[in-house]
Structure 1
Amino acid sequence: MTQSLPGFPPSVIRRLVIKIGSALLVDPAGEVRLDWLRTLVADVAARRAEGQQVIIVSSGAIALGARRLKLPKGGRGSLEDAQAAAATGQIALSQCWAALLHERGITAAQMLVTLDDLENRRRYLNASATLERLMQLGVVPVVNENDSVATAEIRFGDNDRLAARIGQAARADAVVLLSDVDGLYTANPHVDAGAMLIETIERIDARIAAMADGGSASGMGSGGMTSKIEAARIATGAGAHLAIISGKINAPLSHWEQGGRGSIFLAAPAQRARKGWLAGRLAVRGRITVDAGAEKALERGNSLLPAGVARVEGVFARGDVVDILAEDGRVIARGLIEYDSEEAARIAGKRSDDIAALLGHLPRSVLVHRDHMAMV
């Protein structure tokens, strides 16, 4: 199976999400790179002709709008500038995609989403249903973050993670991130000539995470390799492969399928839909650090008991999402907390027999129930 994955061919990958960053789509003058984009659209059309369903996650609205509004710093000088640029540029961006896809006989649909749309369970299911219906109708959805209304507190901040979440919502088989580098290297290839490309990543561990570089080489986008690895965590946890390949050449998908370089993060066994959604959430309210015994218990599929908790951080209410950390700081799980932060801190490390007397009421038996927890 892994030998047939490079290129994510239609014979293996039924549904594919393709993410295009601002630096690839928009030139430094703020104009769409139409010649390059036509080659990508040709790639998409060829794959669809072979039966592959395609979803596009496209950056570029802020960069396009900033030029039209003559805003400094590419429209990113302030939140207000970015929102105005996005509102202006999104029209041009959607028109461009619709026109180029129409040239190939393909109907495009626009979807603008915010972080809340995919963090709220009901709205996430609505987005998932819309994507599914568009796929059934043979349409290519073009998705972007709705930067005209998103704020610093409620936004993805980069389209790498958005692409992974859209892949999860659409039940895609794979996600490909077109980048200014052709994969994950052992060091930043722009500054280290000895950096080596890693072609296959079976598990995202501390060694892989340490290779990430958070910078955006173009200064136009908002993500670097750190955001791509976070996207890989979300995608692979949802049962989808994720690839990072170069988008700096014409027809990048064809080039990759014909032997071009890239890095593939292999999918993990998919979790149940609700747990996959929970594991992929980006907004968490608190952090619960557990001892080694509790970590082993969670790995065996048990619920989190107060006795195994070493530390509670953050302000949260019952039902909020919290990260569960090992003693060394690794995030090992994510779940819905059964107590508010004040009570959770009071009962941390306490045995069940002692909790009723401490709180003055009959407590819930667990801090995070296994049915409302996903390992990450």
Structure 2
Amino acid sequence: MRARIAGARAIVVKIGSSGLTSLAGGIDIDRLDRLAAAIEARMRAGTDVVVVSSGAVGAGMAPLGLKARPKDLATKQAVASVGQLALAHAWGTSFARFDRTVGQVLLTAEDIARRSQHRNAQRTFDRLRAMGAVAVVNENDTVATAELRFGDNDRLAALVAHLVGADALVLLSDIDGLYSGDPRKDPSAHLVDFVGGPEDLDGVIAGSGGALGTGGMASKLSSARLAADGGVPVLLAAATEADRALSTADVGTAFAARPQRLSARKFWVRHAADTTGALVLDDGAVRAMRKRRSLLAAGVVGSEGGFHSGDVVELRNLGGEVIARGVVAYDDEEVAGMLGRSTGDLPADMHRPVIHADDLVLIG
């Protein structure tokens, strides 16, 4: 798995706030320069790199005279608006040393959740890479609301890794890997150098974020598993070891990817898209779906919420458990008139499945 990460032709590198900023002085230019140099070395070796950079709020705090990370949304957004400009300038200046152009990409959760915006973002990344520029990504904190947030940049990085078709995700933070507990509080905590499956996480206790960021080990662990579930191997390492993390990948914790990568569309359905309603299925339809078959109207016994053709809906069994997600082919009003009916009893324009097998993703 480390060899796959070291030899990946396209990677996403996420850098935490603690690797770029400090409470006292905003952006630490020396640290940022070292990270940019390590990324440039990887790019010159032939790898496409997308950078997910935290630090906008941390970068904006010092210029505004703040000593602690703001807690209310309006102040966070105001501080981020100052910090985003400073952060983008710092990345641009640092990469200019290598005659490398930087493009800033600001995303909200809605940009990933909506398929049309998802595709637009994908095209932007593809064009930046084709022109030899490095995309520096952050959540658009100045407009994102509490209801429309990724939660943190670790999750954003995992989603971007699949969005751009990356072969690996590297998460760089202020700790050198996944530990069984917090090594700063528990002397007996040990490094978990490889996670091949859930069994390797038995007994692992992951904590929340620090003073400058919103992530923490729990966030990194969740995001690493999300990326790995989509088929992208992950390396979690210290930002101070970026040189090795981005070359030999012989540091930190490596997370194994699932054997078969989900298609971009299925990953989007499973992890990124918002759901707008739900369908309730009988036991026969549940068994058919587990065999990767399309969902026909005969197996649908109930419909909840309002949705349109092309929306993502949850699929539930009779006990209310969510067992899958899928892209529905009909509006909710049409589905209501199709419940339990065999294909032969429906009009000719309704003979296609309610959800095609190619648009179905099992949960769990």
Which SS does the other structure have where 2:22 is aligned?
Answer: coil
Question: 2:73, 2:22 → 1: CA distance?
Answer: 22
Partner amino acid, structure 2, of 1:59: S
Share of identical aligned residues, percent? 36
Q: Give CA deviations for 1:159-181 in whole Å, capped at 9, x if unaligned.
A: 11111221122111111111233
Unaligned 5+ segments in structure 1 are: 357-361
Aligned-pair distance for 1:351?
5.0
**1:56: which partner in 2?**
51
Question: 1:199, 1:295 → 2: CA distance?
Answer: 38
**2:88: which partner in 1?**
94
Question: 1:143, 1:186 → 2: CA distance?
Answer: 30
Aligned positions, number: 359
**1:113: which partner in 2?**
107
Which of 29, 35, 39 is equivalent to 1:44? 39
Partner amino acid, structure 2, of 1:79: L
Is the contact made by 1:243 and 1:265 (CA closer than 8 Å) also made in structure 2?
Answer: no
Aligned-pair distance for 1:49?
1.9
* 1:312-327 pair list within 5 angstroms: 315-319=305-309, 320-324=311-315
1:220 matched to 2:212? The reply is yes
**1:78: which partner in 2?**
72
Change (3 A) 1:258 1:18: closer
Change (3 A) 1:292 1:54: same
Partner amino acid, structure 2, of 1:228: K
Question: 1:243, 1:159 → 2: CA distance?
Answer: 15
For the aligned residue pairs, the C-alpha RMSD in angstroms reads: 3.7
Aligned-pair distance for 1:58?
0.3
Which SS does the other structure have where 1:69 is aligned?
Answer: coil
Which SS does the other structure have where 1:221 is aligned?
Answer: coil
Q: Which stretch of structure 1 is more off in the superposition, 58-67 or 88-97?
A: 58-67
Which SS does the other structure have where 1:280 is aligned?
Answer: helix
**1:4: which partner in 2?**
3
Change (3 A) 1:233 1:80: same
Change (3 A) 1:52 1:239: same
1:145 matched to 2:161? The reply is no
Aligned-pair distance for 1:272?
2.9
Unaligned 5+ segments in structure 2 are: none
**2:27: which partner in 1?**
32
Is the contact made by 2:107 and 2:137 (CA closer than 8 Å) also made in structure 1?
Answer: yes
**2:13: which partner in 1?**
18
Question: 2:26, 2:252 → 1: CA distance?
Answer: 28
Change (3 A) 1:331 1:195: farther
**1:373: which partner in 2?**
360
Is the contact made by 1:234 and 1:279 (CA closer than 8 Å) also made in structure 2?
Answer: no
Change (3 A) 1:30 1:210: farther
Is the contact made by 1:40 and 1:250 (CA closer than 8 Å) also made in structure 2?
Answer: no
Partner amino acid, structure 2, of 1:375: L
Q: Give CA deviations for 1:328-375 in whole Å, capped at 9, x if unaligned.
A: 99865322346778998999xx8547xx9xxxxx99886644232223
Aligned-pair distance for 1:185?
3.4
Question: 1:156, 1:71 → 2: CA distance?
Answer: 25
Is the contact made by 1:36 and 1:251 (CA closer than 8 Å) also made in structure 2?
Answer: no
1:200 matched to 2:157? The reply is no
Q: Which stretch of structure 1 is more off in the superposition, 165-174 or 318-327?
A: 318-327
Question: 1:189, 1:342 → 2: CA distance?
Answer: 55
Q: Which stretch of structure 1 is more off in the superposition, 268-277 or 154-163?
A: 268-277
Change (3 A) 1:137 1:344: same
**2:231: which partner in 1?**
239
TM-score by length of 1: 0.80
Change (3 A) 1:256 1:369: same
Change (3 A) 1:85 1:128: same
Question: 2:333, 2:203 → 1: CA distance?
Answer: 34
Partner amino acid, structure 1, of 2:307: A
Partner amino acid, structure 2, of 1:98: G
Change (3 A) 1:141 1:303: same
Aligned-pair distance for 1:104?
2.4
Question: 2:301, 2:179 → 1: CA distance?
Answer: 36
Is the contact made by 2:195 and 2:253 (CA closer than 8 Å) also made in structure 1?
Answer: no
Aligned-pair distance for 1:190?
4.1
Q: Which stretch of structure 1 is more off in the superposition, 282-291 or 158-167?
A: 282-291
Partner amino acid, structure 2, of 1:279: R
Aligned-pair distance for 1:4?
1.8
Partner amino acid, structure 2, of 1:35: D
Question: 2:186, 2:335 → 1: CA distance?
Answer: 46
Question: 2:218, 2:299 → 1: CA distance?
Answer: 31
Partner amino acid, structure 2, of 1:374: V
Q: Give CA deviations for 1:66-99 in whole Å, capped at 9, x if unaligned.
A: 3222346423x21111111111111100010001
